[in-house]
Amino acid sequence: MAGTISTYVTFNGYTAEVLKHWQEVFGGELNLLTYADTKMEGMPFEPPADALAHGVLTLPGGLISGGDSMDGEYPIRDTAYSMLYNAESVEDARERIATMVAAGGEETMKFETAPWGGSYGQVFDKYGVMWSFSAM
């Protein structure tokens, strides 16, 4: 069996909120597990009971997993990385972009025809994560 690559994100105490927002945008099944839900003992730190130990958003095309950070805030808004959504159609991409923008995101690169064919654009969601949208 070949390995797979998926995304893992961490935020300082609000990862569950982020995953719920992305579920609103992309659909899928979301499973969340707080530290109170686990029976983990002997951990090298004392997590808050309501902190997210592990969450998984299962989408038709992949997984986005995450958990709350225990050691402070990480820089989020940057262009060194992005989440790439390969849309089924131009209309699909436009709808998801509109949903992100309506929820407080910012379209920083207009979704339009790309030099390599198809369409491409970028949005920073309300949490500062850059999403690239592509449709052929």
CB atoms within 10 A of CB 9: 20
CB atoms within 10 A of CB 125: 22
pLDDT at residue 86, rounded to an integer = 95
pLDDT at residue 73, rounded to an integer = 67
- CA–CA distances in Å: residue 127 to residues 41, 43, 123: 32, 29, 11
Kindly report the length of the chain. Answer: 136
Residue 104 is given by DSSP the state: T
Q: How far apart are CA 46 and CA 77, in angstroms?
A: 28
Which is higher by pLDDT, 1 or 76? 76
Tell me the per-residue pLDDT of 66-121, one tens digit each, with 9 for 90 and over. 999 887 767 788 878 899 999 999 999 999 999 999 999 999 999 999 998 999 99
The segment with the largest mean pLDDT, out of 8-22, 27-41, 42-56, 73-87, is 8-22
Q: Domains (ranges, CATH) in the chain?
A: 7-68 (3.30.720), 83-135 (3.10.180.10)
- Give the predicted TM-score (pTM) of the model: 0.88
Q: How far apart are CA 52 and CA 54, in angstroms?
A: 6
Instruction: State mean pLDDT over 43-55.
Output: 86
